[in-house]
Amino acid sequence: MESSTGAPQSPRMEEELPVVLVHRRPSATFVIPLKARLQAHFRVLDPCDSADDSHTFLARHGRSVRALLCASLAPLPADTLELLPSLELVVISTAGIDHVDLRFCRRRGITVTNASAALAEDAADHAVALLIDVLRRITAADRFVRAGSWPVKGEYPLGSKLRGKRVGIVGLGTIGSGIVKRLAALGCIISYTSRSKKPTVPFAYIGNVVELASNSDALIVCCPLTQGTHHIISEEVMRALGKGGVVVNVGRGALIDEERMVELLVRGELGGAGLDVFENEPDVPKELLELDHVILTPHSAVTTPESFRAVEDLIVDNFIAFFSNKPLLSVVQL
């Protein structure tokens, strides 16, 4: 092992380093470069590098672990956390937090951070791109041209203007705030709902999601998935949005009642959808594949080289701050 200066570290030096446990699926090989960065500062324990099964590994090493990296969407349930009695910090490498037992963390006083701060810019860009694509029918128009339909069928059906659209934001966290910044600059009329009203936000706060939908031409969903937000975009919400309404989701698939949404889209009772996430990924309802007013992307809103590097930086900085008794970045309010 090498030090942060690149010089080899002795076994004694390695033993004196703070311990970081990596919790991941064996297939999550993208973590390997991040582990190399962490090893410049910490002694990294990874059950995937051991011949022991995960439970045996944690039973042997878990009592000394104060900080854990939860990589990608590896589930972190209570029975795993029980094996880590000294755990004080969980650093999540994603914006979503629904794969971690937050109730257990709250009860035990374990601090949780996520990667929203590093991913917000790309997620906001993608959400706005989906909305524009649905309204202006860009992807469908591209298929129309490629199929040779333009010379045969003539003019393509009209799209819809973005400026002046009433857009409701469901979840005004880091990502939602980035979306608002972009849409306000494009001339949209913004309102939002969130866990609480934001005193410094100069847009209308509407506490009820059905009422928000009734006063919107489009909803953009970017709140965390919790027990309280599961299917927050219900059939009632979508019917309140109306036949011309558009739903965009860059949060988690289960924020929307997907079955009801598909029915409404197929029957023309919802105007369109831009979806980066789905309830049963990677399976997508086959009915959506046939609809020109629906844009589908494969949970890729934040998959850019820049965002991956920013996430790595944020993770390393959070662990350094924790072991230096300095303020943490991107703390999740449990």
CB atoms within 10 A of CB 6: 7
Name 100's bridge partners: 76
What average pLDDT does range 270-286 have in this prediction?
A: 98
Taking only the tens place, the pLDDT of each residue in 211-226 is 999 999 999 999 999 9
pLDDT attached to residue 30? 83
pLDDT attached to residue 12? 47
pLDDT attached to residue 331? 96
pLDDT attached to residue 13? 53
The CA distances from residue 123 to 91, 138, 170, 213, 306, in Å, are 20, 19, 14, 22, 12
| Whether pLDDT at 159 is above 90 | yes
Residue 94 near residue 72 (C-beta atoms within 8 A): yes
| Whether pLDDT at 195 is above 50 | yes
Taking only the tens place, the pLDDT of each residue in 223-242 is 999 999 999 999 999 999 99
The chain-wide mean pLDDT, for the chain, equals 94
pLDDT over 90, % of the chain: 91
What average pLDDT does range 169-193 have in this prediction?
A: 97
pLDDT attached to residue 235? 98
pLDDT attached to residue 269? 98
pLDDT attached to residue 16? 84
Catalytic residues: 252, 281, 299
What average pLDDT does range 126-151 have in this prediction?
A: 97
CB atoms within 10 A of CB 160: 16
For residue 248, the one-letter residue type is V
| Whether pLDDT at 267 is above 60 | yes
Residue 208 near residue 193 (C-beta atoms within 8 A): yes
* Residues 93, 64: Cα–Cα separation, whole Å: 22
Q: How confident is the model at residue 72 (pLDDT cuts 50, 70, 90)?
A: confident
Q: Which residues contact 22 (CB under 8 A, 6 or more apart)?
A: 31, 35, 38, 44, 45, 46, 47, 48, 68, 69, 71
pLDDT attached to residue 8? 47
Q: Which residues contact 300 (CB under 8 A, 6 or more apart)?
A: 126, 276
| Whether pLDDT at 3 is above 90 | no
pLDDT attached to residue 263? 98
Taking only the tens place, the pLDDT of each residue in 10-26 is 554 556 899 999 999 99
Taking only the tens place, the pLDDT of each residue in 110-125 is 999 999 999 999 999 9
pLDDT attached to residue 29? 84
What average pLDDT does range 135-163 have in this prediction?
A: 96
Residue 127 near residue 219 (C-beta atoms within 8 A): no
Give all domains of the chain, ordered by start, each with its CATH number.
11-117+305-323 (3.40.50.720), 119-296 (3.40.50.720)
pLDDT attached to residue 28? 87
* Residues 223, 212: Cα–Cα separation, whole Å: 14
